[in-house]
Structure 1
């Protein structure tokens, strides 16, 4: 379940390159997720990068390169900050960017092995927040 969390890190540049201690770099752990998630102009390029529909900034490219590994290892190389951040991003995508969420899930989780778990856990009932 924690593995799909890494997918959303892609959009906020929280996970990049493996460090010698076998964790992803924490270089981007201080990214302002609220600013990115509240601004479609900022979020859009991360989504397009992940979907191979646009250019990737260096941080986004490196993140995209680690999605498969993070999925397969349940984000075992993620820092606690990255795990928390990716849950926030996934929740935002599920509840506010459903079309993008579905496209990303189709690309990185075609069997919806991870997506279904997160949807059940993080989907907000309309009218509740």
Structure 2
């Protein structure tokens, strides 16, 4: 009986898992990462080195949890956005990528699972 109660609780929890707001899932990430100034502006916002606009603020609010939880609450579009942003930052500005990684994963334990989740 206890098993069935526990199983029912797990089903309820799994069904109730929320995702981050999809309001900006239509972000043109390809245009963003192909523009060095835009990429730098997003990086600066995320690492507290520059101002954030409304869209950046929305992403920034969820960023720490998304990284720590390997994008568990990310929509499919958000996973693509995260993947392309990180890949562009790593390729085009490795120093900035390292600053970003240090800010959100100082102990180097979150980016491995995150990379697998967004692959």
Describe the SS at the equivalent of 1:27. helix
Describe the SS at the equivalent of 1:46. helix
Q: Distance in 2 between matches of 1:60 and 1:88?
A: 15
From the CA coordinates, give the structure whose radius of gyration is larger: 2
Q: Deviations over 1:49-106 (max 9, x none)?
A: 1111111112212221212211232211111111122112212222221111000011
Looking at both structures, which has the greater relative contact order when contacts are Cα pairs under 8 Å and sequence separation is at least 6? 1
Q: Distance in 2 between matches of 1:112 and 1:36?
A: 26
Deviation at 1:114, TM superposition (A): 2.9
Question: What are structure 1's unaligned runs of at least 5 residues?
Answer: 1-19, 123-129
Any conservation in 1 of the 2:33–2:88 contact (CA below 8 Å)? yes
Cα 1:53–1:99 change in 2 (3 A) is: same
- Aligned twin of 1:113: 109
Any conservation in 1 of the 2:66–2:73 contact (CA below 8 Å)? yes
The count of residues paired between Structure 1 and Structure 2 equals: 100
Deviation at 1:40, TM superposition (A): 1.2
- Aligned twin of 1:41: 37
TM-score by length of 2: 0.73
Deviation at 1:21, TM superposition (A): 6.7
TM-score by length of 1: 0.68
- Aligned twin of 2:84: 88
Give the number of the structure whose residues are more often helix, by fraction: 2
Within 5 A, what are the aligned runs for 1:21-32?
22-32=18-28
